[in-house]
Amino acid sequence: MLQDRYGNTLSTASTAARDAYVEGVDLFLSANHGAEDAFVGATEADDGFALAHAALARTRQILAKGALATDAMAAARARADKLPRREASHVAALGHLLDGNGPAAYEAIRRHLADDPRDALIAQPCTGVFGLIGFSGQPGREAEQLAFTSALAPHYGDDWWFLGQHAFSQVEAGQTGPATKTIERSLAGNPRNANAAHIRAHVYYEAGETEAGYSYIDGWRRDYDKTGPLHCHISWHVALWALERGDAETMWRVIDADIAPGAAWGPPLNVVSDTAAILYRAGLAGVAVSAERWRAVSDYAAQFFPTPGIAFADVHAALAHAMAGNGEALGRVITDAKGPAADLVRTLAGAFQAIAAGSWAEATAHLTSAMADHERLGGSRAQRDLVEYALLGALLKQGRADEARLLLITRRPLKVGSQAVKGL
């Protein structure tokens, strides 16, 4: 029987289908362009290959090709009735994910991995800060993320994909030293793994190594296909470090070419969150941001996230709507927020509403109440610095510079002396 790169048996007799599938898995796990085409090739080589259809569905879900993803998942399910246990469980778990049933997907994945821990495409949805754990809205999810990858570590050895994800868990849990060693092992195994390059940027950020981080990720992305799933977000890291280095010209060039709506190729979640965040952080650093830019992000958020439901997206959409003066859209976020982190969404949306109105004491109250557990929003610590720095800015607007400095020293000591917030 043919096997994948992780030693899992595949129900296909076609070597061509197997080879295309293995190629697709590696491209998917490394966030490189071409996974969709590879999985299409696998289905063309063997139309009965259920796992290839399921992988195609998952890839198209990531690429925000909803209707095509649904069709591919239907094809996988139609071919799953006679599959061996592992492959049937694989299709079922991904099916829950494609159906949008996160809790059922998480339960199915945990059950599946207990028997088949090296089924990487099934482990993958639970990794990273945008995964089922990352977006669970639960307190302590960073610790849960680390526990998840730590439990899998004995099964993966020096696998480049897994090491990257484990490093992400480590650095988000505050283990910057161990994360540095882990991510270097990952990159040694596959230097063109975009996930690992991105995670390396996070490790540099958490270590306070602005110059090294900027030099590394700016150089790495030059050979990264703009249609790669992480191109927009990797560009955000470049723009953010350019801002912290006082290089607004480079920041705007990167935003306009690779991040902003209409310029970037990327999942809508990245486009709206990365653009809103860099614009607001630019303003905090003393860089003028036009109303036109905020309107463009607000319009984009209203188009792609008209109904609240993903806390991380909703908070960034709320920021864009508030700064653009789109009170109707902002009101919908506040009124219709849902899910386990809905309380945080309403709190932060209220904070941004107060900021837009210049009600700095009210904004401070909202932001302060979110500080204890904003990890429930999902996203990385670097991304959630938006909340931390927004509070610094609100304090400075009230002449409370000493409190702002104390907060920065306490929460982000390695950022003391940076140009992230004007006045500090």
The CA distance from 227 to 240, in Å, is 21
Q: To the nearest 10°, the Cα dihedral for 280, 320, 62, 114?
A: 70
Is 258 in contact with 231 (CB distance < 8 Å)?
yes
Residue 46 is part of a domain; what is its CATH number? 1.25.40.10
pLDDT at 418 over 90: no
pLDDT band at 415 (very low <50, low <70, confident <90, very high): confident
Domain end residue (candidates: 122, 152, 167) = 122
Based on the fold, state whether residues 274 and 335 are members of the same structural domain. yes
CA distances to 71, 349, 415 from 388, rounded to whole Å, are: 42, 15, 12
pLDDT at 2 over 80: yes
Based on the fold, state whether residues 403 and 289 are members of the same structural domain. yes
Based on the fold, state whether residues 110 and 160 are members of the same structural domain. no
Name the CA radius of gyration of the chain, rounded.
22
Which ranges of 305-359 does DSSP label H, i.e. alpha helix?
311-324, 327-336, 342-357
Is 228 in contact with 207 (CB distance < 8 Å)?
no
For 222, counting Cβ atoms within 10 Å of its Cβ (0-12 exposed, 13-18 middle, 19+ buried), the class is: exposed
Does a structural domain hold residue 109? yes
Based on the fold, state whether residues 37 and 100 are members of the same structural domain. yes
Domain end residue (candidates: 67, 96, 122) = 122
Query: Looking at residue 266, what is its pLDDT?
Result: 83
For the segment 391-408, the average pLDDT, to the nearest whole number, is 97
Q: To the nearest 10°, the Cα dihedral for 204, 310, 339, 61?
A: -100
Count of C-beta atoms within a 10 Å radius of residue 9? 12
Residue 162 is part of which domain span? Answer: 127-207
Residue 65 has φ and ψ, to the nearest 5°, of -105, 75
Instruction: Report the candidate in 216, 197, 219 with the shortest Cα–Cα distance to residue 32.
Output: 197
Is 105 in contact with 125 (CB distance < 8 Å)?
yes
For 83, counting Cβ atoms within 10 Å of its Cβ (0-12 exposed, 13-18 middle, 19+ buried), the class is: middle
- Token pair 């198209």: residue: 60
Based on the fold, state whether residues 392 and 269 are members of the same structural domain. yes
The CA distance from 218 to 239, in Å, is 9
Crossing angle for the helix pair 194-206 and 210-221, to the nearest 10 degrees? 170
pLDDT tens-digit readout, 268-315: 999 999 999 999 999 999 999 999 999 999 999 999 999 999 999 999
Based on the fold, state whether residues 372 and 395 are members of the same structural domain. yes
What's the mean pLDDT when you consider all of the chain?
Answer: 97
Cα-Cα end-to-end distance for the chain: 63
Does a structural domain hold residue 155? yes
Domain end residue (candidates: 142, 174, 207) = 207
Based on the fold, state whether residues 273 and 410 are members of the same structural domain. yes
| Residues above pLDDT 70, as percent of the chain | 100
User: Strand, coil or helix: what is 361?
Assistant: helix
How does DSSP classify residue 89?
H
DSSP letters spanning 260-276: STTT--S-HHHHHHHHH
Residues 6+ apart with CB under 8 A from 374: 344, 348, 384, 387
Based on the fold, state whether residues 366 and 323 are members of the same structural domain. yes
The CA distance from 195 to 144, in Å, is 20
Number of domains forming the structure of the chain: 3
Does a structural domain hold residue 243? no
pLDDT tens-digit readout, 100-114: 999 999 999 999 999
Based on the fold, state whether residues 96 and 194 are members of the same structural domain. no
Does a structural domain hold residue 232? no
pLDDT band at 419 (very low <50, low <70, confident <90, very high): confident
Residue 3 has φ and ψ, to the nearest 5°, of -130, 160
Does a structural domain hold residue 254? no
The CA distance from 387 to 352, in Å, is 10
- The one-letter amino acid code at 134 reads G
pLDDT band at 244 (very low <50, low <70, confident <90, very high): very high
Count of C-beta atoms within a 10 Å radius of residue 310? 22
Does a structural domain hold residue 226? no
Q: Tell me the pTM.
A: 0.96
Based on the fold, state whether residues 53 and 20 are members of the same structural domain. yes
The CA distance from 367 to 354, in Å, is 10
Residue 74 has φ and ψ, to the nearest 5°, of -65, -40
Residue 316 is part of a domain; what is its CATH number? 1.25.40
Based on the fold, state whether residues 114 and 131 are members of the same structural domain. no
Does a structural domain hold residue 176? yes
Does a structural domain hold residue 7? no
pLDDT tens-digit readout, 103-147: 999 999 999 999 999 999 999 999 999 999 999 999 999 999 999
Based on the fold, state whether residues 135 and 114 are members of the same structural domain. no
